[in-house]
Structure 1
Amino acid sequence: MDFANSDLEALLKDETFRQWVFEPTRETDAFWQQLLDQFPEKRALVEKARAVLLGIDQEVVENFPDEEQVGRMFANVQDRIQSAPGSRFQIGWRWLAAASVLLCLGVWLYSKNRPATQYEQLIDQASVALLEKVNTSGTPVTVSLPDGSTVLLQPNSRIGYARDFNRQDKREVYLSGDAFFQVTKNPGKPFFVYADELVTKVLGTSFWVKAAEVGKQVVVQVKTGKVSVFARTDSRANEMQANRELEGVVLTPNQQILFSRDDIRMKKTLVAEPLPVLVQNFEFKDEPVSKIFAALEQAYGVDIVYDEDLLGHCLLTAYLSDEPLFEKLSLLCKGIEGRYEVVDAQIVISAKGCQ
């Protein structure tokens, strides 16, 4: 929600605002007080929205109307508004308040009846009390976990983790949305991220998890180190969580998993723009192509597959600098009259060979 430009309807629809009104915590109090300090002109609007919600909480919750009753109530308000004397712009606050109450009732009814999201199901199934961090701003927010790990939480994203995080046998975080994790290494306490249908297990590394509720894919991308990824529905999921080794689909830097929610399928591939993991000199003069490919493999942490018997004696002169990896490969393939493609997170080179 864009708080600076919010109106009554936006506040009534906002889930974090309703949570603050009905179930305030020290953290949510601090969050909303900070917003009000930043935008003091919104205090009157916030108080009005609180009054509407609390009025519903006190008078309506016990005998909450069904959808048919809400429809009749709304039609009644419409009739009253249309029959009110004067222009529609002269309608008093009581009619707007009534309409707002009905709006909020409809929102609440929808919230009450809609299926729980994967994130909500995971939170409900957690065996320990959780803390939750929500990013309602328009910019990324850094969340520091008790073990020293950090989470760069993107807008409209949230995480949940144990209140006594450091006392647990394993470090577990629940995610809805997108976040970049930098995990403090601790082999004795593996770190798990539960995001939609996927479980990501790490010992100490940095990686992205992208699991927006409205998206069709869940994506895990590795920047440094190694992670293993497996589906929560995998028959060996419990065993893979308990095992100290990394099992499932193991990802290394510049690799990613794309999990399709539609057909429940995982695909391992390279990220769109692989980044160097080591500084390397890419100036070669009459060097075997095998040496150049080896340098690229080391610099980017990727596997390059080619026919060594066919291409091993090819000599190339290449002066590469800041080009992206795939552009470097395109230039090299021109020199050997070949092409490359990405297959299962490997780069496969095809060429006719050298004369």
Structure 2
Amino acid sequence: MAENESNIAYLFKKLADGTASKEELAAYFELTKDNSLDDKITALMQAELKNNATPEIQDTERIDRVYNNIEAAIRVQQPAIKKSNYPFFKRWAAAAAILIVAGGLFYYSQNKPSKNNTQLVANDVAPGHQGATLTLANGKKIILTQAINGKLAKEAGVTITKTANGQLVYQVEGTTEVNKVNTLSTDNGETYKVQLPDGSEVWLNSASSLTYNTNLNENGKRMVSLTGEAYFQVAKDKAHPFIVHTEKQDVEVLGTHFNINSYKDEPAIATTLLEGSVKVTSGTYKQIIKPGEQAVNNGAGIKVAVVDADNITDWKDGDFNLNHVDFRVAMRKVARWYDVEVVYDKSVPEDIETGGWISRKQKLSAVLKFIESSGLVHFKVEGKKIYISK
């Protein structure tokens, strides 16, 4: 661990200065795959800015130079990245560049503070966290952030455990009973991960719920019901199809990775496939989609389009991917994660888009200042409300 931290510090310095060789660039991005180094990398970025910035205009020149060096590194490394690793590489490379630029803008604004930036910091909101409520078949509710690690309950031959890293795990032990239903639900500002009895894993986004039999089996099928948004990594079982039921559709798979967004405040249900194949059924409409495709169901039909999956699964990876995202869609993501209400002034256009990446671990003020740096909108925070004007 200590050796990796030393190596990442050395390589990051060369990356920021634009002196890294191809081999050193490859080594740097290989180390970024180690999630335990995330905090170290963020600290390196912040230190780089602090040590080299001054309250004069040269600050922005320094930021531009570091940003350009990272972009150059991306161009050098991109052809050598294997397709299977590219989404991860792209996320980290983009996040590196944006954290430096966002951090630089923050430093510059601190030295030349505006009334609006001061107001955003004064009314700041902490990011969301890992948390959920588990409702057992007998009606008992367990708030998982308060529950101790270890065995939580045993229902219908299934043991329910909370692991040390905060994951919920179901394990079948002996004969199981049917019609013992559990519900895992998250509030605004919460996410949670559950491993179902068949080994399938589900990441639940904010303001969402997943309902299922404790043994997962209904008439030979693996059945779950979803409201809100979740990412599914389904264990392969050709004999038992896995079906996700939402208010307007069913998604059937045998074993695959996919994301479903079924929030009631979104105009349609979006099913995005990353691996394998899925069948989306809504009334008489049926569509089979391939990896990289998204099925959008507005209740009047299902349309399929090729999409950038990174834009869809950003929340699972702890990011806001705002690149070419409808502004109001982006702000709904922000509102759910920070548990705030968004109020629009009439001056805000309906057809603007955001851009870039920023971590969901940042406080609300950092995210809003990052979006505001585009010059498209201005924010004011009062309590739990964000007021947006042109």
**Under TM normalisation by the shorter chain, which class is it?**
0.3 to 0.5
TM-score, L = length of structure 1: 0.38
TM-score, L = length of structure 2: 0.35
More helix by share: 1
